[in-house]
Structure 1
């Protein structure tokens, strides 16, 4: 079987209406599959004004605005509906890919099982950790159990980092989990994109050390920990400035909490590469990442990384070589990086230009290991394996039935 023989139905809770690392990876995957002759049909909510044009054919899923405070820009797919089921039957996929354990994902899983189609699920985020950022940490065990049931109904999983695979195995989410890492576009992210003129325009002097936050401004990205750490650095009188790249519902809270911070707003493409490379230290306090695209992009831009020692970052950052990993304190839903420990890790980079350059250069060199072409082929190969295994199983069952019928006759 070849990639061109695949007919893939891909389900996503957010394929293109709001830009994030997960859907950018999915769009790159679809582009790679289409380029090899595969047939792909994507099912995801549509909005009138999406952040970017979708790669491939996109079919709208019935949806509502996400019923969570501060997450109103996201849509919740509710079901498949008759028209989507008819579309699926006409398309006749031989593999189903689920990228989100939402209600439509559950319905698509049931559809696949009813039609004897193998299912691959990709894990993009630590959904079970989200409630702790909305004062509902008591829901974490319930959500974990729901995720375990969902993922174990699938034929296999792929996750973007070995640290996330290890965590999924411990949580008994599945026993067939492959590594679908992430790549970086080196035409956009490179130390060569650093621009002193841009720095001056936003208020950074040539000698200023800019600590960068990059991502959607939502609380589950660790904004509170980032802010507490900056306060700690200010108390210690460690010279630095804060550069925030991104936008989101928590923007005003973040601005009020970080007076004097430079908020560059949402960036994409070459403008994003320019802004990121024009920083000096990348600080990622999030514990919800399964990979951390922004961490890899910062490394490609030559920035040393200080990150929470959580899934994703632990597979990217070589502690003491390309940056620093700060262990989490506490257990379960209370596990979080300590702001004092993060400040301890950031301070030497603020004070020592040679250390910044050495660790930033090492990170940029490490980023060359991440090629989108090779990474996406892993998923295509997993599709092929699952389809061939299902065909072999169906053939074996048919032969067994024939044998029984012959014996009975």
Structure 2
């Protein structure tokens, strides 16, 4: 099927080289572009918006919903999908239909960008190769780590084999940090990598958002020290570790409060584990920024993200971070400076790190100030501009070969 569309389109005039972003035609493929809000799809939307602001035209193929979490950037085109058993809020995209293949081929894109190793991504990769069009991918999630959280650890080697096939032969793989790319290469999951970091809106996330009235509305006294957790309430976010660390602090009689910001299918289970915690539900915009600035530290034990936007949102808010030693945090948090990094399964280590900030106001303030300084480096336009520059290099090299 792919070869048929390719031969028909390639028989016509070739795709011209864009002299700038103006006229650049890009096609993106996502497993979740906007139907559920998360850090990965918000980053992809920001990238698409940036490309269009520079004069490019972008089409995005993704499962959609009648009740999306937010308005999409670019032209979003719905693809068939099925819900994931046990996680109905997420969907798995099917492969491209014949109609979609023809539509994409007639669009004559300069570059394909894949963001998930699902059937949609695999079929898009085949179509790109048939059209002799450059194809790149970005690694947003450590999918291979999910198996252990849902009792399928035995399937991880097969999952990693699928990832190797998916990322093999691509013109580029975008990762969130050089260190993360090095790790993936060492594991044999990718062949090459370019860095596409993340930015933070510092007009939204900043220490001035701290609000004692907001804390009081949750029943928190002004002199109480608060541990914040922000994220979707799903097992792979490390909820069990949050509960275990908090319970260890209780065992030590270390005074603290826990505020949980987020919603998700594991909420009821988490509430049972954390009966003393305050659950705010899902927050966004200024309400979310207020939460980041109004807690006294962020606990992020997740090992499944490739970056962890919540880390830089906390730093920009002047809030130190206690996080797992994982790819999504080690590229952001400087241990002992902007926060603490702890082995992912070390309950005692998490409790020790939290205890330092709970009882030492000076240490907490110093880490918050260091985080503010570190957050200055995370500028969205600079970061997305680097991706555009790499796109143009790849497209130019491909046209030079033709």
Structure 2 match to 1:388: 396
Structure 1 residues 106-146: Cα deviation after superposition (integer angstroms, max 9, x where no partner): 00000000110110100001000000000111111111111
- Is the CA contact (8 Å cut-off) linking 2:196 and 2:383 kept in structure 1? yes
Structure 1 distance, partners of 2:178, 2:141, is 14
Shift of 1:230: 0.8
- Is the CA contact (8 Å cut-off) linking 1:302 and 1:363 kept in structure 2? yes
2:193 pairs with 1:181: no
Structure 2 distance, partners of 1:87, 1:256, is 50
Structure 1 match to 2:80: 62
Structure 2 distance, partners of 1:90, 1:203, is 59
TM-score (norm 1): 0.92
2:235 pairs with 1:226: no
Structure 1 match to 2:376: 368
- Is the CA contact (8 Å cut-off) linking 1:285 and 1:308 kept in structure 2? yes
- Is the CA contact (8 Å cut-off) linking 1:43 and 1:61 kept in structure 2? yes
Structure 2 match to 1:407: none
- Is the CA contact (8 Å cut-off) linking 1:304 and 1:356 kept in structure 2? yes
Shift of 1:167: 1.3
TM-score (norm 2): 0.94
What runs of 5+ residues in structure 2 fail to find an aligned partner? 1-18
Structure 1 distance, partners of 2:190, 2:301, is 28
State the SS of the aligned residue for 1:347.
helix
- Is the CA contact (8 Å cut-off) linking 2:167 and 2:173 kept in structure 1? yes
2:252 pairs with 1:250: no
**Pick from 24, 27, 33: which aligns with 1:15?**
33
Shift of 1:175: 3.0
After superposition, residues 168-317 of structure 1 pair within 5 angstroms as 168-317=184-333
Shift of 1:337: 2.5
Shift of 1:375: 0.2
Structure 1 distance, partners of 2:154, 2:190, is 24
Structure 1 residues 331-390: Cα deviation after superposition (integer angstroms, max 9, x where no partner): xxxxx4211111111101000111111101111111011000000011111211111121
**Pick from 26, 34, 38: which aligns with 2:52?**
34
- Is the CA contact (8 Å cut-off) linking 2:177 and 2:195 kept in structure 1? yes
- Is the CA contact (8 Å cut-off) linking 1:10 and 1:98 kept in structure 2? yes
State the SS of the aligned residue for 1:248.
coil
Structure 2 distance, partners of 1:194, 1:43, is 39
State the SS of the aligned residue for 1:312.
helix
When the two chains are superposed, the root-mean-square deviation of aligned CA atoms in Å is 1.0
2:69 pairs with 1:51: yes
2:340 pairs with 1:324: yes
Structure 2 distance, partners of 1:14, 1:37, is 24
Structure 1 residues 221-259: Cα deviation after superposition (integer angstroms, max 9, x where no partner): 111111111111110111100000110000111111001
Structure 2 distance, partners of 1:158, 1:170, is 16
Structure 1 distance, partners of 2:282, 2:61, is 26
After superposition, residues 123-162 of structure 1 pair within 5 angstroms as 123-162=139-178
- Size of the aligned set, in residue pairs, is 384
Structure 1 residues 288-307: Cα deviation after superposition (integer angstroms, max 9, x where no partner): 11111011101111111111
Change in Cα spacing, 1:273 to 1:258, as seen in structure 2 (3 Å) is: same
- Is the CA contact (8 Å cut-off) linking 2:180 and 2:306 kept in structure 1? yes
Shift of 1:72: 1.4
> Which runs of 4 or more aligned residues in structure 1 lie more than 4 Å from their structure 2 counterparts after TM superposition?
none
State the SS of the aligned residue for 2:327.
coil
State the SS of the aligned residue for 1:120.
strand
**Pick from 364, 385, 391: which aligns with 1:377?**
385
Structure 1 distance, partners of 2:385, 2:23, is 14
